[in-house]
Amino acid sequence: MTSHFPPVTTVVLLCLLLHSTDGTCPSICLCTSDTLSCGSQGLTRLPLLLHHTTATLDLSYNRLGWIGPGSFSSLPRLDTLRLANNQLSTIGHGVFHNASSLRHLDLSSNRLQVMEQHCLQGLWRLEELLLYNNRIAHVEGGMLSGLSSLRKVYFSLNQITEFPFFSIQDHSHPFLTMLDLSSNRLTTLPWEDVKALPGSVQKGLYLHNNSLVCECSMYSVFWHWEQRGFDSVREFTEENTCLIYGEPRSSVQILQHSRYFQNCTVGKVVSLPVAVLISNLIVYEGERVQLDCQTSLRGKELSYMWVSPNQEHLTWTSFNDTLMNVFPNGTLEIPAARVNDTGVYVCMTRDNKHMLNATREVNVTVVSAMPYSFSTGYTTLLGCVVSLVVILMYLYLTPCRCGCCKQPQAIPIPAYNPGTLASIFSPTLSNKHVVFIEPMLEDQNGGLRVALATERSTLQWEWDTSGLT
């Protein structure tokens, strides 16, 4: 009977059979373990039959115009969702219902116009949100609320005129270090709200290529950012412009034309509580550590006080302590760091003349000279060295049984040349790397993160911060 079927039908039947045994990979997608790639397929609707173990779903470069509520609720392990370069004009209510494992969401290059109040509700694990190159004009106040794991949000190349800075507070988004609002249509910002943002958010707030109106409140914010050496102003000095009286043709570079702002009092702003600047330092045990206390205060008569993790108060000491010293310029020195010196050190500067205060925090982590996780690697390496030396000794130093004794000069001194050793060792060294990489690749998430890091290396600060956690 089967021989009567036309060949096409047979193929279709075969496909169906294969499909039902596999049962999980939509025919137009490429499936590998937990990754589903359905990019560039001209899709107008989500594919059906997505396997519930999917961790990465790539739907970019399609023609999706709408996604229904709960579309991803059958994917409890979905970690990365790429929807870039589609035709989405809105994210309706409940689209991400039950998709709370999402950590990376790419909605860039779509046609989104409004980011509504609760459109991303429930994504409390979301770390990275890409919304650049859409048509977003309005970001509603509660849009970011509840997204408490956010680290990086990219809103550039949209048409945003107002942004709800007030919704980002000290404890609402503790990990947020990048808020890119560049290339939008911002004119006047609520600068008081901007100044009230947590220091780590201010540090990663990008505002270049907007249409900011020149005003003193704006200038003082940029001035303080420059004083603290934030990359957002240092790297975009020329692009950080403002318009005099909002006139499009009267653009000036904010920090290059300080004469225009000569009548602005930036000092007055300093007297408001200055946001804390935190930095992280990792040192090895026994190293000398110097923590400087540079804050926004620039006066000559500053007094400094450090509070150690044990709540000890340290001020300038003329004596020479072997554990910790504070120098007249405010620098704290730990001559030889110990593991139990780990913790957050807070420096408080005070300008007595102008009654100004500023604070700086440094998170110091002292690690033992040889971390445990590396010990197996070193042991392996050591084992190889020992066996190599034994082999070399066996080859060249064993009592002769042949005529080689006649050439005592042939004992190959060059074999002990470090250069030669290095080339002999290189396979061993690369093995050492494999030892470290393999467990990571076996682990689903680890492997995924490696993939993300290579793919997105063009975005700033990608791997170094998120990779540490």
Q: Where on the chain is the footprint of ligand NAG (CB under 6 A)? A: 70, 73, 97-98, 183, 209, 260, 262-263, 273, 280, 290, 292, 320, 327, 329, 331, 338, 340, 344, 350, 357, 363, 365
Nearer to ligand NAG, 37 or 217 (CB): 217
Cα–Cα distance measured from residue 196 to residue 151, given in angstroms and rounded to the nearest whole number: 18
Q: What sign results for the dihedral spanned by CA atoms 375, 466, 443, 37?
A: negative
CB of 220 to ligand NAG, least distance (A): 15
We find the least distance from the C-beta atom of residue 357 to ligand NAG, in angstroms, to be 4
Nearest approach, Cβ of 87 to ligand NAG (angstroms)? 20
CA distance 73 to 81: 13
Whichever of 193 and 292 has its CB closer to ligand NAG, that residue is 292
With respect to ligand NAG, which residue has the nearer C-beta, 155 or 225? 155
DSSP structure class, residue 121: T
Q: Which is nearer to ligand NAG, 305 or 388 (CB)?
A: 305
**Closest by CA position to 389, among listed 428, 433, 357:** 428
Report the 3 state secondary structure along 158-225. CCCCECCHHHCCCCCCCCCCEEECCCCCCCCCCHHHHHCCCHHHHHCEECCCCCCECCHHHHHHHHHH
Contact 324, 308 (CB under 8 A): yes
CB 68, min distance to ligand NAG, A: 11
Please give the C-alpha separations between residue 242 and each of 137, 250, 258, 308, in angstroms, as whole numbers: 20, 8, 12, 42
Closer CB to ligand NAG, residue 122 or residue 164? 122
Nearer to ligand NAG, 32 or 263 (CB): 263
User: Whole-number minimum distance, CB 363 to ligand NAG, in Å?
Assistant: 4
CB of 248 to ligand NAG, least distance (A): 12
Q: How far is CA 38 from CA 28, 29, 55, 59, 83, in A?
A: 7, 4, 14, 5, 10
- Per the DSSP assignment, residues forming a β-bridge with 31 are 36
